[in-house]
């Protein structure tokens, strides 16, 4: 008899094999796996008593806490659908996602109760509001009190691997957020592929520097449990706190977007000197700069693995696996290789890079095409949006919108988002390449490059730069540095120094915001 492919199987296995191992650390709270799973069971029973049934939507608005982690087990084992919401959105965004998804129960961290209260009159389908912490509040169910009073038994419906597991809403930077439908099978596939390639194991300790709401924490919400490792919760990402937990909790693993890694690499020298070596870092979300990888590996002695994917692909579809021949090159060359997106995971499906005619580009590291993918990791579609689903995957392939080249060894490398490629005087310029060059300058902490209108070249690259604290640099100095490393037409025509770059909650730089507020580029 076949068993469905579902991340709930990881819960069953770990409960059987590792009930007494440490499962969760959240501040002073420490739970074994049996204690953690008992809490999940009690919350399942409580939700069922509230009327939650198979297929119902339960939304969470919360940072990386034990209660948020419990949602990834308590909701799915009822056959219900989890809707993890980006807690940095506005109340209007909350309202749209809750209403669009058909959510009937909303669970919120105390920081966001007021925002939800401000829209509760506009949520007629919502039957219950749950306060995850902070004590009683009028009109809200007290999570901890209700959980403590609930039984551990509940009616467990049959789960099919093609059942909907989560609806994850995209950032919605240019339009309404789209609800990505992830099935139990999608998530199971990604977890197994992650564990095959990254080797997380029993007794490892994983720090939650990545938001759990983002693509289900890249499915590490289930992968850490599947491995019998320990979840170390971190509600707010701050470099000093990261280093403290790495030291005090013997953390060996973490995931982070490149912008978070830049913050870690740029931390105070005292923190860097005290940092334990050997931490394994998984990065994705945007192409990382080779300079950042080189600093983390060279200065801190950490090991960085670059993976690539999208919310729509569960999320991982490639991993930059190290090859034996990579050990023979210099650290700087190895960092350049590690900044590439890599090759297909064993489980993710088929990936191609195609030109405008649908033909695969040659493996020469020069010809640019779009990454397309099909297979077990690809979403079931966008919830209640057949037109967007048809546009993204109507031909049987999911079209990523990412522009990439394929190197002779088969490793792909993203050069840009298709919409972010700068075409200057008929030449294609990769903003990622220019940003990576600027980040090699010792004064530069962060950089973002966009194309702006230019009266002679059509458009030209313009850089926004955040300098390292206490370090100075001029526009001319940085422009000359870029020209010494790049073809002159690729170097920024102008530079704006800023205190910070606009970012999404997952660390992606919002280039549309930069374009909107950027100065015009005059003829140069």
For the chain, the maximum distance between any two Cα atoms, rounded to a whole number of angstroms, is 72
CA distance 261 to 282: 10
CA 337 to chain centre: 21
Tokens (6 digits) for 112:
């966001």
Residues 396 and 296 in one domain: yes
**175 pLDDT higher than 70:** no
Q: In what order do the strands lie in the sheet with 179-183?
A: 141-142, 128-131, 103-108, 57-61, 81-85, 164-169, 179-183
Residues 75 and 125 in one domain: yes
Residues 413 and 507 in one domain: no
Confidence of residue 523 (pLDDT cuts 50, 70, 90): very low
Strands (E), 253-314: 253-256, 280-283, 303-309
Residues 291 and 163 in one domain: no
Tokens (6 digits) for 473:
């640099």
- Number of residues assigned to the chain: 524
Q: CA nearest 204: which of 241, 255, 240, 239? A: 255
Residue at 522 is within a domain:
no
- pLDDT reported for residue 520: 55
DSSP-assigned letter for residue 367: -
Tokens (6 digits) for 144:
């901890």
Contact present, 70 and 60 (Cβ < 8 Å): no
pLDDT digits (tens, 9 = 90+) for 243-292: 999 999 999 999 998 888 888 888 878 888 889 999 999 999 877 788 88
CA distance 500 to 445: 10
Give the N- to C-terminal CA distance of the chain in Å, as an integer.
Answer: 71
Residues 328 and 433 in one domain: no
Q: CA nearest 55: which of 159, 144, 142? A: 159
- pLDDT reported for residue 60: 98
Residue at 199 is within a domain:
no
Residues 480 and 412 in one domain: no
Q: In what order do the strands lie in the sheet with 253-256?
A: 29-32, 22-26, 230-232, 205-207, 253-256, 280-283, 303-309, 316-319, 343-344
Residues 365 and 453 in one domain: no
Helices (H), 169-219: 184-198, 215-218
- pLDDT reported for residue 88: 86
Residue at 53 is within a domain:
yes
- pLDDT reported for residue 505: 64
Which of residues 332 and 381 earns the better pLDDT score? Answer: 381
Confidence of residue 454 (pLDDT cuts 50, 70, 90): confident
CATH number of the domain that 382 lies in?
A: 3.40.50.12780
Residues 256 and 379 in one domain: yes
Strands (E), 257-310: 280-283, 303-309
Q: Which helix (H) or strand (E) holds 111?
A: none
Phi, psi of 205 (to 5 degrees): -125, 120
Residues 308 and 389 in one domain: yes
Contact present, 439 and 433 (Cβ < 8 Å): no
Number of C-beta neighbours around residue 517 at 10 A? 11
Q: Which helix (H) or strand (E) holds 93?
A: helix 91-101
Contact present, 351 and 371 (Cβ < 8 Å): yes
Helices (H), 102-213: 113-117, 143-149, 184-198
Residue at 204 is within a domain:
no
The domain tally of the chain equals: 3
CATH number of the domain that 477 lies in?
A: 3.30.300.30
- pLDDT reported for residue 524: 43
Residue at 56 is within a domain:
yes
CA distance 490 to 415: 13
CA distance 307 to 23: 25
- pLDDT reported for residue 172: 53
Residue at 73 is within a domain:
yes
Confidence of residue 229 (pLDDT cuts 50, 70, 90): very high
Residue at 259 is within a domain:
yes
CA distance 221 to 203: 16
CA distance 255 to 259: 12
Tokens (6 digits) for 449:
């490059």
Residues 47 and 159 in one domain: yes
**522 pLDDT higher than 60:** no
**186 pLDDT higher than 60:** yes
**173 pLDDT higher than 50:** no
Among 73-77, 180-184, 485-489, the minimum mean pLDDT is found in 485-489
Residues 292 and 428 in one domain: no
CA distance 206 to 199: 12
Q: CA nearest 432: which of 444, 443, 418, 442? A: 418
Give percent of the chain above pLDDT 70: 97
Tokens (6 digits) for 31:
């739970």
pLDDT digits (tens, 9 = 90+) for 279-335: 999 999 877 788 889 889 998 999 999 999 999 999 999 999 998 998 899 988 999
CA distance 271 to 273: 5
Tokens (6 digits) for 47:
């939700």
pTM flag (> 0.75): yes
Full residue range of the structural domain in which residue 494 is found: 421-517
Mean pLDDT of the chain: 92
Q: Which of 364, 387, 417 is the last residue of a domain?
A: 417
Alpha carbon dihedral 115, 119, 125, 128, in 10-degree steps, equals: 40
Residue at 213 is within a domain:
no
Residues 105 and 64 in one domain: yes
Q: Which helix (H) or strand (E) holds 443?
A: none
Q: Which of 401, 417, 433 is the last residue of a domain?
A: 417
Q: Which of 417, 441, 466 is the last residue of a domain?
A: 417
């Amino acid at each position: 008899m076949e068993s469905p492919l579902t991340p709930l199987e990881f819960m069953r296995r770990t409960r059987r094999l590792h009930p007494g191992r440490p499962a969760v650390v959240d501040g002073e709270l420490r739970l074994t796996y049996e204690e953690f799973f008992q809490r999940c069971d009690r919350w399942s029973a409580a939700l069922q008593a509230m009327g939650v049934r198979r297929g119902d939507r339960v939304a969470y608005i919360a940072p990386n806490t034990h209660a948020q982690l419990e949602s990834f087990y308590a909701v799915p084992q009822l056959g219900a659908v989890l809707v993890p919401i980006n807690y940095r959105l506005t109340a209007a965004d909350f309202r749209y996602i809750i209403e669009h998804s058909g959510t009937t129960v909303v669970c919120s961290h105390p920081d966001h109760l007021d925002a939800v209260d401000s829209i509760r009159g506009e949520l007629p389908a919502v039957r219950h509001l749950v306060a995850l912490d902070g004590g009683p509040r009028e009109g809200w169910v007290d999570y901890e009190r209700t959980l403590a009073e609930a039984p551990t038994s509940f009616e467990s419906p049959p789960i099919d691997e093609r059942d909907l597991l989560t609806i994850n809403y995209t950032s919605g930077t240019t339009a309404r957020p789209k609800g990505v439908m992830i099935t139990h099978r999608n998530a199971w596939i990604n977890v197994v592929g992650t564990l095959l390639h990254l080797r997380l194991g029993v007794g490892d300790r994983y720090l939650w520097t990545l938001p759990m709401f983002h693509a289900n924490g890249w499915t590490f919400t289930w992968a850490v449990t599947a491995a019998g490792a320990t979840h170390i919760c971190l509600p707010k990402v701050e470099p000093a706190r990261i280093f403290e937990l790495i030291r005090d909790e013997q953390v060996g693993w973490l995931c982070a977007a490149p912008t978070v890694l830049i913050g870690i690499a740029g931390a105070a020298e005292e923190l860097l000197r005290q940092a334990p070596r050997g931490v394994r870092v998984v990065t994705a979300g945007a192409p990382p700069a080779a300079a950042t990888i080189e600093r983390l590996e060279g200065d801190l002695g950490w090991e960085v693995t670059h993976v690539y994917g999208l919310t729509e692909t569960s999320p991982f579809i490639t991993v930059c696996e190290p090859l034996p021949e990579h050990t023979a090159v210099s650290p700087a060359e190895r960092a350049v290789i590690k900044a590439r997106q890599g090759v297909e995971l064993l489980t993710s499906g088929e990936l191609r890079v195609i030109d405008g005619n649908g033909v695969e580009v040659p493996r020469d590291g020069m010809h640019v095409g779009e990454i397309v993918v099909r297979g077990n990791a690809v979403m079931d579609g966008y919830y209640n949006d057949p037109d967007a689903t048809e546009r993204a995957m109507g031909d049987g392939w999911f079209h990523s919108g990412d522009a990439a080249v394929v190197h002779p060894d088969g490793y792909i490398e993203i050069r840009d988002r298709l919409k972010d490629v700068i075409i200057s005087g008929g030449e294609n310029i990769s903003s990622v390449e220019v940003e990576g060059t600027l980040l090699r300058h010792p004064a530069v902490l962060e950089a973002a490059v966009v194309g702006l209108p230019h009266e002679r070249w059509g458009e030209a690259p313009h850089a926004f730069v955040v300098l390292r604290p206490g370090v100075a640099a001029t526009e001319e100095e940085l422009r000359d540095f870029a020209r010494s490393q790049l073809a002159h037409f690729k170097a920024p025509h102008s530079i704006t120094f800023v205190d910070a770059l606009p970012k999404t909650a997952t660390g992606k730089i919002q280039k549309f915001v930069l374009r909107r507020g950027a100065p015009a580029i005059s003829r140069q």
